[in-house]
Amino acid sequence: MSGRRRVTLRDVADRAGVSFKTVSRVVNGEAGVSPELVLRVRMAVDELGYRLDPRASGLRRLDRRTRTIAVVLEDLANPFSSELHRAVVDTARDRDVLVLSASSNEDPADERAAVQAFLARHVDGVILMPTSADHSWFQREIEGGTQVVTVDRPARGVHADAVVCDNRGGATRATAHLLRRGHRRIAFLGDQHTIYTAGERLTGFRDALADAGLDPGSAPIRLDLRDSASAEAAVIDILAGPDPPTGIFAGQNLLTIGAMRALRRLGLERQVALVGFDDVVLADLLDPGVTVVAQDPRRMGAEAATLLLSRIDGADSPPALHTVPTRLIPRGSGEIRPHG
């Protein structure tokens, strides 16, 4: 292959007939070089196709930044994560910072391996969607100087900024939306109860019922539903039981889809109301359209990146929980009124 040696500052200096420090000044945009020399150096750089080596340059720099951050999300291919990821990348690019990324697959071991691979590369900071396990091992890294911001949920055992959506408020609003239309018996479908968001959404659901003078204890609540199939089964089961609900609040994306499938199968999609947490693609093309509480992953990503970058730049306010608002989007399924 191309046997030609790597082009260094010195080569450029020789070609331009200046000292190599002058070249360094020019390529770093430092002031105080005569326009004539700047020009000569620039030409030599172009002719030789020279590019500053960021490793060598970072090595001696006082500010030992790599201008790189890392993002570890559950699944980079998931729409929520990929939107968030994109926002992080765009925000970082505006500040000339590059982004490395990985999926944790909701597996603490994968997550830790990914984070450690990134720390080994000396990234300036990490944006992490933490798995449900304990993260105190992480605390040590933070003390080592790497900045951390968690997204979607806070990490237990870590004193760091967290950017989350308004899970509780969104769930309350979704439930109130159903209550306002006359529903008195509303079912809740929830994710694994150990997950932070699942817990918050359940709390929001209960709050809304209590506010309406209903007993949250008597509502049909199904937790630990891991996928759309189990949500589908749960809905079919609940509706077959005594005193079936007239409305359903699905606490997560896949559960909403499962609930929809169940209602379709039972032919009840126009009888039983449904509101889901987290938006669903093409929800508006379904019939009826699916009413959801939408998160704003774009904004969450942008906020997390902005926070992280400002910490990297030295901001040192105490870590806080940052809540991004949700938005209720009525599309039909949530506006169905109770029958009978």
CB of 22 or CB of 172, closer to DNA:
22
Q: Which stretch binds a copy of itself (CB under 8 A): 80-88, 201-209, 231-239, 243-251?
A: 80-88
Tokens 């949500």 sit on residue: 231
Dist. CA 192–CA 320, nearest whole Å: 25
Residue 215 binds what, of DNA, a copy of itself, none (CB under 5 to 8 Å, by partner type)? none
37 binds DNA (CB under 7 A): yes
CA proximity to 113, closest of 123, 103, 122: 103
Dist. CA 164–CA 154, nearest whole Å: 8
Specify whether the CB–CB gap between 175 and 249 falls below 8 A.
yes
**Shortest Å, Cβ 130 to a copy of itself:** 19
45 binds DNA (CB under 7 A): no
Strand partners, 328: 293
**Shortest Å, Cβ 42 to DNA:** 13
Q: Is the bond into 35 cis (omega within 30 degrees of 0)? A: no
Residue 220 Cα distances to 31, 119, 186, 245, 247, angstroms? 70, 45, 7, 8, 11
How many other CB atoms sit within 10 Å of the CB of residue 216? 17
9 binds DNA (CB under 7 A): yes
39, amino acid identity: L
Site string for DNA, 51-90 (x = CB under 7 A): -xx--xx-xxxxx---------------------------
Contacts with a copy of itself by CB under 8 A lie at 1-2, 6, 49, 51-56, 58-59, 64, 66, 68, 75-79, 81-83, 85-86, 89-90, 93, 96, 98-103, 114, 117-122, 140, 143-145, 257, 260-261, 264, 280-282, 285-287, 314, 316
Contacts with DNA by CB under 7 A lie at 5-6, 8-10, 18-22, 24-25, 27-28, 32-34, 36-37, 52-53, 56-57, 59-63
